[in-house]
């Protein structure tokens, strides 16, 4: 049996998705819950590995097992054992050709940042405090530069095992929102795949454009001349959310 799970989690107290000895991770918690439910060791494969502090609204994983359980029992049982550390919203039986990572066509992340004279304590682990309000029109124009098929070598951190740095970004938009009384923006990016810390780096460049620290022409030049990239400064993880994975 192959089972597909959709789950969400608050990444604040988690050391990312991937299991790490002695650390609290999503994979570790989920595989421990699966062992309690099935009585056997089960490994999960995810659509992607979120970093420490990053949140997910609809992460997708799959696993293989030898015992058939009703999907309702899987959801209820796993949520019982997870005790709120992550929440399973859906379990589905799928064919053996389904792979949570390889079968994914599109992934969508969004990044929340807010502005003001001082930090909003409610948003400490939910969004990034960026200080003075930037030029949101400039940010929106910068976001549009990332749409299309490009070499994103200049927009990743070292440590990725990706065979190619070319990705297609289907949309990159900016919306002005209100977060618990604070003026904020949400940058939403949909792509066929992301490189290591790519979203946080892209959002960092978009913010810098709004702060007048970089021009759109300079950002565009990084696609053709990644070796001349400016320092890659990924924004902090607490503002990043994996919104959905499409198959």
Domain spanning 106-246, CATH architecture: 2-Layer Sandwich (3.30)
Please say whether the beta carbons of 138 and 211 come within 8 A. no
By annotation, the residues acting in catalysis are 51
**What is the C-alpha to C-alpha distance for residues 199 and 194, in angstroms, rounded to an integer?**
7
pLDDT in tens, the chain (247 residues): 999 999 999 999 999 999 999 999 999 999 999 999 999 999 999 999 999 999 999 999 999 999 999 999 999 999 999 999 999 999 999 999 999 999 999 999 999 999 999 999 999 999 999 999 999 999 999 999 999 999 999 999 877 778 899 999 999 999 999 999 999 999 999 999 999 999 999 999 999 999 999 999 999 999 988 766 567 789 999 999 999 999 9
**Tokens (6 digits) for 38:** 């099935």
pTM over 0.85: yes
Pairing mode, strands 128-129 and 148-151:
unpaired
CATH 3.30.70.660 in the chain, residue ranges: 106-246
Class of the domain covering 2-94: alpha beta
Q: What are phi and psi of 71, to 5 degrees?
A: -60, -30
CATH 3.30.70.580 in the chain, residue ranges: 2-94
């Amino acid at each position: 049996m192959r089972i597909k799970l959709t789950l969400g989690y608050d990444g604040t107290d988690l050391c990312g998705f991937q299991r790490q000895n002695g650390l609290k991770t999503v994979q570790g918690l989920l595989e421990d819950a699966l062992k309690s439910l099935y009585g056997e060791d089960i490994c999960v494969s995810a659509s992607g590995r979120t970093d420490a502090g990053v949140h997910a609204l609809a992460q997708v994983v799959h696993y293989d097992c030898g015992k058939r359980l009703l999907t309702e029992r899987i959801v209820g049982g796993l949520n019982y054992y997870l005790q709120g550390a992550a929440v399973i919203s859906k379990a589905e039986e799928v064919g053996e050709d389904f792979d949570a990572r390889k079968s994914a066509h599109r992934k969508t992340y969004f990044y929340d940042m807010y502005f003001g004279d001082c930090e909003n304590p409610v948003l400490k682990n939910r969004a990034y405090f960026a200080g003075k309000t930037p030029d949101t029109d400039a940010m929106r124009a910068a976001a549009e530069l990332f749409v299309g098929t490009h070499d994103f070598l200049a927009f990743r951190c070292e440590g990725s095992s990706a065979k190619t740095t070319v990705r297609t970004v289907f949309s990159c938009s900016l919306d002005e929102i209100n977060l618990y009384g604070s003026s904020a923006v949400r940058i939403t990016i949909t792509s066929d795949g992301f490189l290591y810390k790519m979203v946080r780096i892209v959002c960092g460049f978009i913010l810098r454009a709004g702060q007048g620290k970089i021009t759109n022409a300079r950002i565009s030049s990084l696609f053709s001349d990644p070796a001349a990239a400016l320092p890659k400064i990924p924004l902090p993880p607490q503002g990043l959310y994996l919104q959905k994975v499409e198959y």
